[in-house]
């Protein structure tokens, strides 16, 4: 059994896609100059799965009721992608499971090959915790289906190599309205509980109160963790680690130079201590 772990990234849309859209729009506006202003651009099904900005109404039932409807949505997306991207070459009954335990990766493929036979099978597993919205499901599923296609159609598991890229590219061409299928996604994982290091202010997330603060300390500076009040960790997360990151950026090289036997972890430990000391002096 082989596994591909796909850590997923906020997708970046290449400029050429936007440019091409502009071109298309300007061409169609030639044909129907009046309608251009009357007609609102029709949203495709895939686009309707985007999480709308805060404060705007949610129209898609799959976005609104994602948890209840995710199995239905998975089947719908699978059938659609199989047709539009994979030439219907992936078997309809491909197993797709929702995994409760996966917390770090959005999805992965489990490849199997029966002994003494050439039958190759694959199962896609999706993380309940990371794939927690319709758009994440859409983007993760297509990424994993590219892996599945490599195994089932070409008989190779080449990671994100040329076979995988071939299918990813096909997906990008077929569906330019969704984020590019890329090698990695780094989704911010929405954890319910956040622990903050009292020394360097770094924050770690957990889905449950699983971190034993009496036994575990900060990996950066060995400081002690405290549980942050739920729902209020976000601001602290945005501000403090940035300060620490800047501090690291400014001082990493000099600390590393100060002792040539220092490894990365040693440098980070010293940085954490220094940062904490500075913060106390500054009363920050
Ligand atoms: Zn992958
Ligand atoms: Zn720390």
Query: ipTM score here?
Result: 0.57
pLDDT digits (tens, 9 = 90+) for 109-141: 888 877 677 788 999 999 999 999 999 999 999
In a domain? residue 120:
yes
Check whether 175 has a pLDDT greater than 70: yes
Ranges assigned E (strand) in 116-189: 120-127
Check whether 216 has a pLDDT greater than 50: yes
**Long-range contacts (CB closer than 8 Å, 24 or more residues apart) made by 247-250:** 247/271, 247/274, 247/275, 247/278
Residues 170 and 197 in one domain: no
pLDDT at position 41: 65
- Which residues neighbour ligand 2 (ion) by CB within 5 Å? 197, 199-200, 202, 218, 220-221, 223, 272
Residues 198 and 68 in one domain: no
Distance 12 CA to ligand 1 centre (A): 16
pLDDT at position 112: 81
Residues 17 and 156 in one domain: yes
Residues 136 and 6 in one domain: yes
Spell out the residues 6+ positions from residue 137 whose beta carbon is closer than 8 angstroms to its own.
Answer: 49, 66, 70, 73, 74, 77, 126, 131
In a domain? residue 233:
yes
Residues 113 and 210 in one domain: no
Residues 106 and 153 in one domain: yes
In a domain? residue 184:
no
In a domain? residue 21:
yes
Which of 143, 174, 205 lies at the terminal end of a domain, its last residue?
A: 174
Comparing 75 with 40, the larger pLDDT belongs to 75
Using the structure block, give the residue that is written with the tokens 């929702």.
98
Please report which confidence band the pLDDT of residue 264 belongs to, taking 50, 70 and 90 as the band edges. Answer: confident
* Ligand minimally distant from the alpha carbon of residue 144: 1
Distance 219 CA to ligand 2 centre (A): 7
Residue 124, φ and ψ in degrees, nearest 5: -100, 130
Domain holding 265, by residue range, is 193-282
Using the structure block, give the residue that is written with the tokens 């971190």.
211
Residues 12 and 76 in one domain: yes
pLDDT at position 186: 60
In a domain? residue 185:
no
Distance 206 CA to ligand 1 centre (A): 24
pLDDT at position 133: 94
Please report which confidence band the pLDDT of residue 47 belongs to, taking 50, 70 and 90 as the band edges. Answer: very high
Q: How far apart are CA 148 and CA 163, in angstroms?
A: 11
Q: Tell me if 94 sits within 8 A of 77, measured CB to CB.
A: no
For 30, 164, 274, 282, the CA distances from 119, given in Å and listed in that order, are 53, 20, 58, 66
């Amino acid at each position: 059994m082989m596994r591909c772990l796909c850590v997923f990234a906020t997708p970046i849309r290449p400029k050429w896609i936007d440019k091409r859209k502009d071109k298309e729009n300007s061409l169609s506006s030639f044909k129907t100059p009046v309608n251009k202003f009357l007609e609102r651009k029709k949203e495709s099904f895939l686009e309707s799965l985007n999480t709308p900005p805060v404060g705007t109404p949610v129209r898609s039932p799959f976005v609104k009721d994602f948890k209840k409807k995710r199995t239905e949505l998975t089947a719908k997306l699978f059938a659609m992608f199989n047709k539009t991207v994979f030439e219907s070459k992936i078997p309809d009954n491909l197993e797709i499971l929702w995994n409760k335990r996966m917390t770090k990766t959005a999805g992965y493929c489990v490849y199997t090959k029966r002994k003494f036979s050439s039958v190759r099978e694959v199962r896609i597993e999706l993380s309940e915790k990371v794939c927690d919205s319709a758009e994440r499901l859409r983007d993760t599923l297509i990424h994993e289906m590219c892996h599945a296609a490599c195994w089932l159609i070409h008989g190779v598991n080449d990671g994100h190599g040329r076979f995988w890229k071939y299918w990813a590219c096909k997906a990008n061409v077929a569906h330019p309205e969704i984020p590019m299928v890329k090698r990695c996604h780094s989704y911010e994982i929405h954890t319910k509980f956040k622990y903050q290091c009292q020394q360097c202010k770094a924050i770690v997330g957990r889905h449950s109160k699983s971190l034993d603060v009496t036994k575990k300390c900060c990996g950066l500076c060995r400081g002690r963790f405290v549980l942050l009040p739920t729902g209020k960790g976000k601001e602290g997360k945005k501000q403090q680690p940035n300060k620490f990151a800047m501090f690291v950026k400014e001082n990493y090289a000099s600390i590393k130079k100060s002792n040539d036997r220092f490894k990365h972890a040693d440098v980070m430990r010293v940085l954490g201590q220094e940062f904490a000391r500075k913060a106390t002096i500054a009363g920050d």
